[in-house]
Amino acid sequence: MAATQVLKSEWTKIRSVSSTVWTLGLALVVTVGLGLLISILAKNDYDSLNAQDRRVFDPTFTSFAGTSLGQLAMIVFGVLVVSNEYSTGMIRTSLSAVPQRATFMASKVAVATLLALVVGLVTSFISFFLGQAMLGEHKALISDPGVLRAVIGGGLYMTLIAMFSMGVAMMLRSPMLSLGILMPFFFLISSILGNVSATKKIGRFLPDQAGSKIMQVKTPLDDDSPYGPWGGLAIMVLWVVVALIGGYALLKKRDA
Amino acid sequence: MIEAVGLTKRYGAKTAVYNLSFQVRPGTVTGFLGPNGSGKSTTMRMILGLDQPTTGQVTIGGYPYRKLPNAPRQVGALLDAKAVHGGRHARNHLLCLAQLSGIPARRVDEVLGVVGLQEVAKKRSKGFSLGMGQRLGIAAALLGDPQVLLFDEPVNGLDPEGILWVRNLMKSLAAEGRTVFVSSHLMSEMALTAEHLIVIGRGQLLADMSVKDFISHNSADFARVRTPEGDVQQREKLSAALSEAGGQVMPEQDGALRVTGLPLPRISDLAHDADVRVWELSPHQASLEEAYMRMTQGAVDYRSTVDQRAGLQQQLPPGAMPQQQMPVPGQGQPGWYAPPPPQQGGQPFAMPQGAPQGAPGAPGAPQGPPPGTPNPYAAAPPQAPASAPAPDMTKRDSEDPR
């Protein structure tokens, strides 16, 4: 069957459940809102910074501060898109209509990814411009070197987080289990591993730690990571590819 | 046509389906019967390529399902009525399935009309009753106008009107030359819907035959003969005569005789020759339900036991007598399902009887009781005993769907 038919059907599926609007809407509102708040705080705080801190102050990255929380809504989106097929039993109806597992999964991931990308980019640009407006004289311009890359990167980061969640949810199938692992991991564990000096060397290769590098324009003082912004994103892409391959292998092998 | 060859499915140590081979042919409704947990749904899932068989294979029109070109246009299936996203409304649920196989949206509204869900097309399926869910599932199966249809327990949760509708739908789909495969654990339902039966128990094939053959293979036809009450001599005389003629005679609780191996007219003749009056001579047939239960008796996985209520019983007030435990039929009594001898009336299950053996006139002609003897038709006018049972029998014959 034509892949366009499956794509069309997946689009109907994704737009006809309210969780899509809720999760993506929340991702946008939380990311933008928190970025706005942190930007205001950063502006008021700027005068108390010492010279060194002022030199590495990164207005672009500051306006993306909401991502750490907003990404959780993206995770929920990615998990639900896949696992609601399993939790409702719809997967059996879907797979008896699309017996080709590869077509089914590729279409599902493609549609959800495209949607996440659009929402991610919109979120990223709004976060940037609103955040910069709050930062006043300390703001960065979109035309500054590396800034456009960071803003687009913010959208890509959100998209990749959603894709990673889809892969994990495809492996675990249960929405509770998937969320129970992904949420604390990205909210707490990853940032602890990435900031504690003992685990830092490993922690910075975790998907979110590596991927978020793309949103930085100025390198923080204590940063000695062996990869640049695109290198970091590539590491994250690698994680996503592994998760999706794992999900596909299990989908193909397992009974539905 | 669906064809299974040596189909086996193991989940760990448990064998759900073992060495199952059968064919489901187009043009008839094929019933798929078995007790709970006998492997019906597993088999259905394997037909649809959802589960991979451990060994063996099953094909539809010669292809394994996963290789079937444009599967949704060829095969429609209702597996689980609740297998829908509750937050999606009915029309969108069908629309996303229709788009998969390039079916126009117009068809969605058509099938919604066919199953009678137009009113709730824009309602979330979360709020649907089981019956409405079944209708939605049937609509999904009909979407692609497929030649092969599978239904897993389609009448579960349907109201009588819905059951009748499903029954007629299956028959009309089969009459159009489609392959219709319907699973159920209700023999009585299948007897009315299906023409061919595949019966499994514990994952193994128990029977693969037409409903007609199933009846004649599995049901013991017998005749009930009742001699005048209180006249033991007459009864024994007739009993001896019938045995002599090659029939098997068993006494029943109410004093009647259960005779097998002799046609009704012959029994009548023998009684006449022996000069024994007969109050009742009626054909009986074990119902399909009985035959089915006898067949699957050894293959029932989940059997109820007597509720012991150990430690749960309420303290009796001092001096009170403990209540007599009444046995509940079917609980903790292995073999309860073996067909009981028919009670008065001889029809333990409300089942349509197959064509009664023997001449239809024969059973309805008991000799009129002589005046003065107590008789069951005492309230009726004198002629009534002779004629009353007769229309009853013929009526039942004419109502017979077959």
Cross-chain Cβ contact B100/A93 below 8 Å: no
Question: Does the distance separating the beta carbons of B80 and A256 come in below 8 Å?
Answer: no
The alpha carbon of B46 is separated from its chain's Cα centroid by a whole number of angstroms, namely: 24
Cβ contact A92–B100 (<8 Å) = no
pLDDT range class, residue B401, cuts 50, 70, 90:
very low
Q: How many CB pairs under 8 A join A and B?
A: 99
pLDDT higher for B131 or B81? Answer: B131
A256 to chain B, any CB pair closer than 8 A? The answer is yes
Q: For residue A190, tell me if it sits in a domain.
A: yes
Q: What is the bridge-based pairing of β-strands B257-260 and B248-251?
A: antiparallel
- On the 0-12 / 13-18 / 19+ scale of CB atoms within 10 A, B91 is buried
**Number of structural domains in chain B:** 2
The stretch A14-32 carries a mean pLDDT of 92
- Specify which of B7-16, B278-287, B294-303, B329-338 reaches the highest per-range mean pLDDT: B7-16
Span A84-90, average pLDDT: 89
Residue at A199 is within a domain: yes
Q: Which of A4, A8, A12, A22 to mutate to test the interface with B (most CBs of B within 10 A)?
A: A12
CA distance B95 to chain A (A): 7
Q: Is residue B328 one of the residues assigned to a domain?
A: no
With 60 as the cut, is the pLDDT of residue B353 above it? no
With CA atoms as reference, the chain B residue closest to A256 would be B50
Q: How confident is the model at residue B379 (pLDDT cuts 50, 70, 90)?
A: very low
Residue B247 confidence (pLDDT): 86
pLDDT value at position B323? 56
Residue B60 has pLDDT above 80, yes or no: yes
Q: What is the pLDDT of residues B201-237, one digit of tens each?
A: 888 898 899 988 887 777 667 888 988 887 888 888 8
Mean pLDDT confidence for A149-161:
95
State which amino acid sits at residue A169: A
Q: Residue A1 has what pLDDT?
A: 52
Smallest CA–CA distance from A86 into chain B, residue: B83
Chain A residue with the nearest C-alpha to that of B96: A9
pLDDT at A79 > cutoff 60: yes
Out of B50, B67, B95, closest to residue A96 by CB = B50
Shared-domain flag, residues B129 and B257: no
Strands (E), B252-400: 257-260, 280-285
Spatial CB neighbours of B21, under 8 Å, sequence gap ≥ 6: B4, B5, B6, B7, B56, B205
Let me know if residue B296 belongs to a domain: no
CB of A6 within 8 Å of a chain B CB? The answer is: yes
* Nearest 10 degrees: Cα torsion A220, A224, A230, A232: -100
Tell which wins on pLDDT, B170 or A198.
B170
Residue B321: predicted pLDDT? 62
In a domain, B134, yes or no: yes
- Domain closes at, from B217, B241, B259: B217
Total domains in chain A come to 1
The mean per-residue pLDDT over the stretch A85-109 comes to 89
Position B323 in a domain: no
Say whether both B366 and B352 belong to one domain: yes
The 8-class DSSP code of residue A3 comes to: H
pLDDT one-digit tens code per residue, B232-260: 888 888 899 999 988 888 888 888 888 88
What pLDDT digit, counting tens, does each position of B98-149 carry?
Answer: 988 888 899 999 999 999 998 988 888 888 888 889 999 999 999 989 999 9
Task: Indicate the average pLDDT of chain B.
Answer: 78
Q: Give yes or no: residues B50 and B131 share one domain.
A: yes
Q: Which tokens belong to B367?
A: 């000799």
User: What residues are paired with B280 via a beta bridge?
Assistant: B226
| Enclosing domain of residue B132 | 2-217
From chain B, pick out residues whose CB is under 8 angstroms from the CB of A93: 79, 83-84, 97, 140
Single-letter amino acid, residue B312: L
Predicted pLDDT at A51: 83
Q: Does the distance separating the beta carbons of B83 and A89 come in below 8 Å? A: yes
**Do B168 and B39 fall within a single domain?**
yes
Whether residue B252 is found in the same domain as residue B209: no
The conformational region for residue A173 under phi > 0 = left, psi -120 to 50 = alpha, else beta, is: left
Classify residue A1: in a domain, yes or no.
Answer: no
Please give the full DSSP string across A230-252, using - where no structure is assigned: HHHHHHHHHHHHHHHHHHHHHHH
Amino acid A130: pLDDT: 93
Tell me: ipTM over 0.85. Answer: no
Contact A20, A112 (CB under 8 A): no
Give whole-number Cα distances, B95 to A101, A185, B116, B122, B324, in Å.
Answer: 20, 37, 16, 12, 60
Examine the domain organization and report whether B98 and B9 are in the same domain: yes
Residues B213 and B249 in one domain: no
pLDDT value, residue B213: 83
Contact residues for A95 (Cβ-Cβ < 8 A; gap 6+): A101, A104, A256, B48, B49, B50
Scanning every residue of chain B, which has its alpha carbon at the shortest distance from the alpha carbon of A96? B48
Maximal C-alpha separation, chain B: 80
* Confidence at B326, pLDDT banded by 50, 70, 90: low
- B198 bridge partner residues: B32, B208
pTM: 0.75
Q: Give the residue from chain B lying closest to A4, CA to CA.
A: B100
Q: Residue B325: pLDDT band by 50, 70, 90 thresholds?
A: low
Q: How many CA atoms lie within 13 A of A36 on its CB side?
A: 12
**Is B308 a member of any domain?**
no
B296: closest CA of chain A, how far (Å): 28
- CA pseudo-torsion sign B114, B118, B122, B128: negative
In the DSSP assignment, the letter for residue B326 is P
Do B102 and A1 count as a contact with CB atoms less than 8 A apart? yes
Residue B391 clears pLDDT 70, i.e. is over it:
no
Tokens (6 digits) for A109: 């991931």
What value does the mean pLDDT take over residues A43-57?
A: 85
- pLDDT for A144: 87
- The answer to whether A84 faces chain B, any CB pair under 8 Å, is yes
Cβ neighbours of A84 in B, within 8 Å: 85
**Smallest Cα–Cα separation from B72: which of B171, B148, B164?**
B148
Chain A residue numbers touching B75 (CB-CB < 8 A): 96
Q: In this structure, is residue A123 part of a structural domain?
A: yes
- The pLDDT value recorded for residue B394 is 40
Quote the pLDDT of residue B107: 93
- The helix (run of H) or strand (run of E) holding residue B21 is strand B14-24
- Give the span between the Cα atoms of A19 and A21, in whole angstroms: 6
Residues B263, B265, B271: CA angle, nearest 5 degrees: 105
Asked whether residue A2 is domain-assigned, the answer is no
Phi, psi (degrees; rounded to nearest 5) at A202 = -90, -40
Please say if the pLDDT value at position A16 is more than 70: yes
SS3 category, A37: helix
Residue B220: its pLDDT value, please?
Answer: 66
Tell me which of B187, B217, B247 is where a domain ends. B217
| Contact at CB, B92 and A16, closer than 8 angstroms | yes
Residue, of B263 and B397, whose pLDDT is higher = B263
Q: Report yes or no on A85 lying in a domain.
A: yes
Distance from CA of B86 to the nearest CA of A (A): 8
The reply to whether B165 and B280 lie within a common domain is no
Name the residue of chain A whose CA is nearest to B10's CA.
Answer: A255
- Considering only CB atoms, A5 lies closest to which of B88, B92, B101, namely B101
Task: Give A19 to chain B, closest Cα distance, Å.
Answer: 9
User: Which of A244, A249, A252 has the alpha carbon at shortest distance from A207?
Assistant: A244
Whether A235 has a pLDDT exceeding 90, the answer reads: yes
Closest CA to B274 of B315, B307, B243, B306: B243
Long-range (24+ apart) CB contacts under 8 A made by B155-161 are B155/B184, B155/B186, B155/B189, B156/B81, B156/B130, B157/B81, B157/B129, B157/B130, B157/B131, B157/B133, B158/B131, B158/B134, B159/B131
Both tokens of residue B319? 């001096």
pLDDT reading at A87 higher than 50: yes
Residue A119 forms part of a structural domain? yes
pLDDT at A41 over 60: yes
Among the partner residues A90, A98, A255, nearest to B100 by beta-carbon distance: A98
- pLDDT of amino acid A234: 95
Instruction: Give the lowest-confidence range in B53-57, B174-178, B285-289.
Output: B285-289
Say if B294 falls within a structural domain. no
- On whether both B227 and B371 belong to a single domain, the answer is yes
- The answer to whether the CB of B288 falls within 8 A of the CB of B351 is yes
Do B189 and B229 fall within a single domain?
Answer: no
Same domain, B180 and B281: no
Distance of CA B121 to the CA centre of its chain: 33
B265-292 mean pLDDT: 85
Q: Which residues of B touch A89 (CB under 8 A)?
A: 80, 82-84
CB count in 10 Å sphere of residue A195: 13
- Biggest CA pair distance of chain A: 64
For residue A106, give its domain range. Answer: 7-253
Q: 10 Å Cβ neighbour count for B178?
A: 19
Which of B200, B217, B234 is where one domain is finished? Answer: B217
Residues in B closer than 8 angstroms to A90, CB to CB, are 83-85
Q: Average pLDDT of A2-11?
A: 85
Q: Decide if B309 is inside a domain.
A: no
Contacts of B399 by beta carbon, 8 Å cutoff, 6+ apart: B352
CATH of the domain at B71: 3.40.50.300
| Residue carrying the six token digits 């597996």 | B79
Top residue of A7, A13, A81, A96 to mutate, by most chain B CBs within 10 Å, is: A96
The partner residue sitting opposite A5, judged by closest CB among B80, B83, B100, is B100
- Whether residues B210 and B227 share a domain: the answer is no
User: CB-based contacts of A67: which residues, under 8 Å, 6+ apart?
Assistant: A31, A35, A127, A154, A157, A158, A212, A215
A-chain residues near B93 (CB < 8 A): 16
List B4's β-bridge partners, or say none.
B22, B58
**What is the rounded average pLDDT of the residues A88-95?**
88
A-chain CB neighbours of B140 within 8 Å are: 93
Establish if B304 belongs to a structural domain.
no
Q: Is the pLDDT of residue A241 over 80?
A: yes
